[in-house]
Amino acid sequence: MISIFKLMNGEEIIAKIADHDSTQYLLEDPVQLYRNVAPNGMTWIQCSHWLLFSRSSLVEVEKTKVLAVISDPNEHVLKNYNDFVHGGWQEHQKQMEELTKQRIKKVAEEQARQYFGKNDKETIH
Is 125 inside any structural domain? no
Is 121 inside any structural domain? no
pLDDT of 88 reads: 59
Which run of H or E residues covers position 82?
helix 75-83
pLDDT of 116 reads: 77
Is 122 inside any structural domain? no
Segment 74-111, tens digit of pLDDT: 888 888 888 888 875 566 567 778 888 888 888 888 88
pLDDT of 37 reads: 86
| pLDDT band, very low/low/confident/very high, at 123 (cuts 50, 70, 90) | low
Segment 13-49, tens digit of pLDDT: 999 999 999 999 999 999 998 888 888 888 887 888 8
Is 6 inside any structural domain? yes
**CA distances in angstroms from 63 to 4, 8, 33, 42, 68, listed in the order given:** 13, 10, 19, 33, 10
Q: In the chain, how many domains are there?
A: 1
Q: The domain containing residue 37 runs over which residues?
A: 2-116
Is 78 inside any structural domain? yes
**CA distances in angstroms from 44 to 9, 13, 71, 119, listed in the order given:** 21, 15, 21, 30
| pLDDT band, very low/low/confident/very high, at 120 (cuts 50, 70, 90) | low
What mean pLDDT is predicted for residues 50-69?
92
The CATH number covering residue 101 comes to 2.30.30.100
